[in-house]
Amino acid sequence: MESLDLRVLADALAWRQSGHAVTLVTVVETWGSAPRPPGALLAVRDDGMVSGSVSGGCVEDDLIARTKAAFKSAATDEPASGKPSMIAYGVSKEEATRFGLPCGGTLRLVQEPLLDTAWVEDLLTRTSQHQLVRRTLTLSTGTVQLSNAERGDRMQFDGLTLSTVFGPKWRLLLIGAGQLSLAVAQMAGMLDFDVLVCDPREEYVHSLGIPGVQRLMGMPDDVVRELVPDAHTAIVALTHDPKLDDMALLEALKSGAFYVGALGSQRNQEVRKQRLAEHFDLTEAELARLQGPVGLSIGAKTPAEIAVSILAEIIQVKNPASQASATTQGCAVA
């Protein structure tokens, strides 16, 4: 589950706390090239305000109309009952065309009124502590249970229960606060990463003025160790100063971070790996984890272009190609 869905839950919680009625909608099955994957989440407020998406905009208008009518109409008891219901779109070519589902895609959704918010608060608290949480919804009663999840767990739906996994936000730790780091930080924030920057050099303190970017005090190796990087953490060393980069990489390569990269030419990377191997107890497997020269080879020249290449490579590692076909990606863009 992407961190976007955590934002949807946070919005839904805030709406309920301010007195609004809210319905949650989850994609449970797709056929064809549906724009949003199973597990994608949408919250609809009683006045039609929405957060999130289940179709990239194809069926949201109809869902909003359904939800507003349900809240206003005394003829239906779905919102008051607390029991979820099923909705299908695109069951025929004609309906898929009417709702604008690309490539003839089909969606099955679970719609549930959000009555009890205690589980939302608990889930948001646990994910903020970097925990993976499984949410299990029983369709016959509308009850929700939370449990610990494991890395690699996926959404499950058997027609009776819906089990979705909510993970912590993806984190990006940047070693260095120079011009390139600022470009990476700005773009990473737009990609919904929690961005952390470590640079003990006082002359760079005032360059960290980007909203939402957190500066971590201390030497890079200490900061990496205290952060306890996990499978939702990427670390990139960008200072070009071996005294700072190498110490951070030493800890990062031993950690659970899913991505570790360092700025520098191919020659610099070879020298760096040799230096790390000679002076520190890093294994060949640990050294092989180092991505360098950092970023995809796209001919990047400017700080902004290099930032694009770095984040593209991080996303490539984060989202293996096996998770989505080229056809699905093309339809999602369309």
- Number of residues that make up the chain: 334
Strands laid side by side in the 233-237 sheet: 214-215, 194-198, 171-175, 233-237, 259-262, 290-291
Task: Output the CA–CA distances (angstroms, integers) from residue 233 to 123, 228, 253, 276, 317, in the order listed.
Answer: 20, 9, 12, 22, 12
pLDDT score, position 192: 85
Residues 18 and 41 in one domain: yes
Task: Tell me the two tokens of residue 90.
Answer: 């695109």
**Nearest one of 27, 21, 22 to 59, comparing CA atoms:** 27
Residues 304 and 183 in one domain: yes
pLDDT score, position 292: 87
pLDDT score, position 153: 82
Is 217 part of any domain? yes
Cα 237 to Cα 255: distance, rounded to the nearest angstrom:
15
20, HSE (Cβ side, Cα atoms, 13 Å): 19
CATH code for the domain of 211: 3.40.50.720
pLDDT score, position 162: 95
Is 36 part of any domain? yes
**Nearest one of 89, 239, 268 to 175, comparing CA atoms:** 239
| Chain mean position to CA 250 | 26
Domain finish residue from 142, 166, 190: 166
Is 107 part of any domain? yes
Residues 278 and 295 in one domain: yes
The b/e string for 309-325 (b: 16+ C-beta within 10 A; e otherwise) is bbbebbeeebeeeeeee
Question: Is the pTM of the predicted complex or chain greater than 0.85?
Answer: no
Q: What is the DSSP string of 83-100?
A: --EEEEE-SSHHHHHHHT
Domain finish residue from 166, 192, 214: 166
Residues 162 and 270 in one domain: no
**DSSP structure class, residue 218:** S
Cα 261 to Cα 326: distance, rounded to the nearest angstrom:
26
pLDDT score, position 207: 63
Nearest-5° Cα angle at 198, 151 to 270: 80
Range of the domain at 59: 3-166
pLDDT score, position 111: 92
Is 126 part of any domain? yes
Per-residue model confidence as pLDDT tens for the chain (334 residues): 456 788 999 999 999 999 999 999 999 987 655 567 788 899 999 988 999 888 766 677 888 888 888 777 634 444 455 689 998 886 555 555 555 555 456 788 999 999 999 999 999 999 988 888 999 999 999 999 999 998 778 889 999 999 999 988 899 999 999 899 999 999 999 898 999 999 988 877 666 677 788 889 899 999 999 999 998 999 999 998 888 999 999 999 999 999 999 998 899 888 989 888 887 878 889 999 999 899 999 999 999 999 999 999 999 999 875 444 433 333 333 2
Residues 81 and 128 in one domain: yes
